Amino acid sequence: MSKIFLPLFLMAVSIASCKKAAELKYDSPDNIYFDFDAATKDRDSIVYTFAYEPGKATDTILLPVRISGKRVNSTRTFKVQPITLGTTAVPGVHYEALKESYTMPADSGTFALPIVLYNKDAKLSNESVTLRLSLVETGDFGLALTGLSSAKIVFSSKLEKPDWWEMWLGAYYSQVKHELFLISSGTIHMTLSGLDAPKNLYHVGRLNSFLADPFKWVGENSSKGYVLEQKNNTTYELYNSSNAAKKFVLRLNAQSGKYYFIDENGTEVI
pLDDT digit string, tens, across residues 32-71: 999 887 644 455 678 899 988 878 899 999 999 999 888 8
193 and 148 assigned to the same domain: no
Look at residue 53 in the predicted model and tell me its pLDDT.
85
pLDDT above 70 as % of the chain: 87
Look at residue 144 in the predicted model and tell me its pLDDT.
86
Q: Does residue 19 lie within any of the structural domains? A: no
199 and 94 assigned to the same domain: no
43 and 124 assigned to the same domain: yes
Domain finish residue from 156, 186, 219: 156
Q: Does residue 211 lie within any of the structural domains? A: yes
138 and 236 assigned to the same domain: no
Range of the domain at 67: 29-156
d(CA 39, CA 17): 34
Q: Does residue 14 lie within any of the structural domains? A: no
Strand residues in 105-234 grouped as ranges (E): 110-118, 129-136, 150-156, 226-230
Question: Does residue 188 register a pLDDT over 80?
Answer: yes
Question: Does residue 18 register a pLDDT over 80?
Answer: no
Instruction: Give kind and range of the element (H or E) at residue 214.
Output: helix 214-220
Mean pLDDT, the chain, integer: 87
Q: Does residue 22 lie within any of the structural domains? A: no
Q: What values do phi and psi take at 111, rounded to 5? A: -150, 135
Domain finish residue from 156, 175, 208: 156
Domain finish residue from 105, 138, 156: 156
β-strand partners of 239:
227, 247
Domain count of the fold of the chain: 2
Q: Does residue 267 lie within any of the structural domains? A: no
Instruction: Say how many residues make up the chain.
Output: 270
Residue 246: closest CA among 90, 160, 124, 131: 124
224 and 247 assigned to the same domain: yes
CA 101 to chain centre: 22
144 and 195 assigned to the same domain: no
Crossing angle between the packed helical segments 175-185 and 197-212, to the nearest 10 degrees: 110
Look at residue 14 in the predicted model and tell me its pLDDT.
55
47 and 129 assigned to the same domain: yes
